[in-house]
Structure 1
Amino acid sequence: MTTDKTGAPTEVNAETDRYTIAVDGKSVGLAEFADRDGQRVFTHTEVDSDFEGRGLATILIGEALQKTRDAGLRIVPVCKMVASYLDKHDEFTDVVDPVSDDIEQWLENR
């Protein structure tokens, strides 16, 4: 089990179109995505403002990206928080695709 910077246990869960992170059983953040042709396009990440500064976004994104890799999907970081995480964690470089005009158009039309 992963703990945040305060030592509180966290749990990351996969849902249909997002990963959520809970602290002590309370959902406090999410990373939204859309799947497309073997790619998982991460569009938005947020953590409840009451829980900022505890490293929850880092835990959430790290686990979401690992689960994406484990599922055999490629990562497309439209979300700035996911892109920032990837800049600091090169262990995912081999499964990251750039955000193309085609992907941006697809997101607008869905």
Structure 2
Amino acid sequence: MAARLVQNVEQEQFELYVGDDLAAFADYVDMTETRNFSHTVTYPRFQDQGLATELIRYALDVTRRQGLKIVPSCSFVAEFIEGHGEYRDLVA
């Protein structure tokens, strides 16, 4: 089953759904020109499937298109960027 990725602006989070189930989300706080990613969660039954990686890639691509820099306060986001050099330019 394909994942559905969305930005929930009201909740300030990116969300990944598998079917109708919220499988993972990444919280953020927007500041003037930056987006601080503070927390990433994958629910237990969806772990070890690469969903958080897919979610963060999507979140960073959307953030880039929106013209924002990021603050990777979340350790998962920081580690993702460390391993994916094409996103290092987004770090404020």
The question of a shared fold, defined as TM-score above 0.5 by the shorter chain, is answered with yes
Unaligned stretches of 5+ residues in structure 1: 1-7, 98-110
Question: Could you tell me how far 1:96 is from its partner in structure 2?
Answer: 0.8
SS of the aligned residue for 1:72 comes to: coil
Q: CA deviation at 1:25?
A: 2.5
Corresponding residue to 2:17 among 17, 22, 25: 22
**1:34 corresponds to which letter in structure 2?**
V
1:55 maps to a residue whose letter is G
1:47 counterpart residue number: 42
Give the whole-Å Cα distance in 2 for the aligned partners of 1:43 and 1:75.
10
The runs of 5 or more residues in structure 2 that have no matched partner are: none
Output one character per residue of 1:18-40: Cα deviation in whole Å (capped at 9) or x when no partner.
Answer: 00000122111100000011100
Q: CA deviation digits over 1:10-61, x for unaligned, max 9?
A: 0110012000000122111100000011100000000001110000000000
One-letter amino acid matched to 1:19: F
What is the aligned partner in structure 2 of residue 36 from structure 1?
A: 31
User: Would you identify which runs of 4 or more consecutive aligned residues in structure 1 move more than 6 Å?
Assistant: none
Whether the 8 Å contact between 2:82 and 2:88 is mirrored in structure 1 is no
Aligned to 1:93: 88
How many residue pairs match? The answer is 90
| TM-score (normalizing by structure 1) | 0.79
Q: Identify the residue that residue 5 of structure 2 maps to in structure 1.
A: 12
Identity rate, percent: 33
Separation in 2, partners of 1:25, 1:70: 27
The reply to whether residue 56 of structure 1 matches residue 61 of structure 2 is: no
Question: Is residue 48 of structure 2 the alignment partner of residue 67 of structure 1?
Answer: no
For 2:90 and 2:79, the matched residues in 1 are separated by: 15
TM-score with structure 2 setting the length: 0.94
Higher relative CO (Cα under 8 Å, sequence separation at least 6) belongs to 2
RMSD of aligned Cα (Å): 0.8
